[in-house]
Amino acid sequence: MKKIAVVYWSGGGNTEAMATAAADGAKKAGGDPALFRVNEFSAQDMKEYDGFLFGCPAMGAEVLEESEFEPFFREAESKLSGVPVGLFGSYGWGGGEWMRQWEARVKDDGAKLVEKGLAIENAPDEKGLVDCAARGEILVKALA
């Protein structure tokens, strides 16, 4: 069974709900997901997992959360080459530019982006949660 780390930062609960749905989807597809707030996970922990789902909302001027998530992700980037990765997050303004920049960054790191990043405006509705679960399923299939 493929081990997947779902690592996220959430300030208001939107991205946390997305992370939970993504982990549920990975489990449904036969994966072995573990859910972590970003402050519970480090780049050194990555060697224990086969693939990753990263979740972070847009902050400020459409950037990743800067105090916890960005420092973690900057360190994690050196470990992403050839690794299947999925991205998700919520936003409240703008058009999702942070997600497009994040996708490009992950591709530049050599990661195997399994599908376009999922950006949901504000709180995920039922369809949004289904889309999050599908991200988990897609990652498990990419690991097969």
Look at residue 94 and tell me whether its pLDDT is greater than 80.
Answer: no
The pair of structure tokens assigned to 44 is: 């050194």
d(CA 4, CA 112): 14
CA dihedral 63, 67, 73, 78 (to 10 degrees): 120
| The pLDDT of residue 92 | 85
| The pLDDT of residue 93 | 80
Q: Where are the beta strands (DSSP E) in the chain?
A: 3-8, 32-37, 51-55, 84-91, 112-113, 118-121
| The pLDDT of residue 95 | 80
| The pLDDT of residue 96 | 84
Across 4-8, 87-91, 94-98, 103-107, least confident range? 94-98
Nearest to 23 by CA among 119, 136, 118: 136
- Tens digit of pLDDT for each residue in 29-83? 999 999 999 999 999 999 999 999 999 999 987 889 999 999 999 999 999 999 9
pTM of the predicted protein model: 0.96
Instruction: Work out the average pLDDT over 102-111.
Output: 96
Q: How much of the chain exceeds pLDDT 90, in percent?
A: 92
Q: 1 or 105, which is more confident?
A: 105
Return the CATH architecture of domain 3-143. 3-Layer(aba) Sandwich (3.40)
In this structure, which amino acid lies at residue 23? Answer: A
Domain ranges for the chain: 3-143
Model confidence band, residue 15 (pLDDT cutoffs 50, 70, 90): very high
Q: 95 or 99, which is more confident?
A: 99
